[in-house]
């Protein structure tokens, strides 16, 4: 039985399928996701779990080269934007895009979406997979 790392079997399986530049999304309880995109629903009740709680668990085991979130996060939930940014160092690229594009297009491009119980408006983030620190680069 898996007792370390991400123990949710669906999330662990989907993370294992990801390669460099693939995208996963961690979203609030209300983001519309097309039926064609795999959704792993972790929502239990209002606020449980939050996107930040899920993000913190994922970041222990997942290398990120870029994050993407919508302008609506900045406009409607600026504290959440700061909380997202605080979790990444200066080597991680940040892209802020229009909310309609985030919702209508990026949800189709993600390998999978983790839906949370978060009711913080526009608490949605895309993680772009990196090669990680274990990769050998001569230069």
Q: Which are the catalytic amino acids? A: 20
Rounded Cα gap, residues 94 and 132, in angstroms: 17
In Å, how far are 82, 108, 109, 115 from 131, measured between CA atoms? 25, 23, 19, 25
* Per-position DSSP letters for 49-67, written without gaps between them: S-HHHHHHHHHTT--EEEE
Strand order in the sheet with 64-70: 38-41, 112-115, 23-27, 125-129, 64-70, 93-97
Q: How many whole angstroms from its chain centre is CA 84?
A: 10
């Amino acid at each position: 039985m898996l007792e370390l790392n991400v123990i949710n079997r669906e999330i662990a399986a989907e993370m294992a399928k990801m390669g460099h530049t693939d995208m996963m999304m961690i979203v609030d309880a209300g983001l519309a996701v097309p039926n064609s995109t795999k959704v792993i629903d972790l929502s239990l009740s209002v606020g449980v779990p939050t996107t930040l709680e899920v993000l913190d668990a994922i970041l222990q085991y997942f290398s990120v080269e870029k994050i993407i979130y919508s302008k609506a996060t900045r406009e409607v939930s600026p504290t959440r934007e700061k909380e997202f940014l605080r979790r990444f160092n200066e080597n991680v690229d940040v892209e802020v895009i229009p909310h309609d594009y985030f919702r209508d297009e990026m949800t189709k491009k993600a390998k999978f979406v983790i839906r949370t119980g978060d009711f913080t408006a526009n608490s949605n983030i895309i993680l772009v997979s990196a090669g990680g620190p274990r990769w050998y680069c001569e230069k």
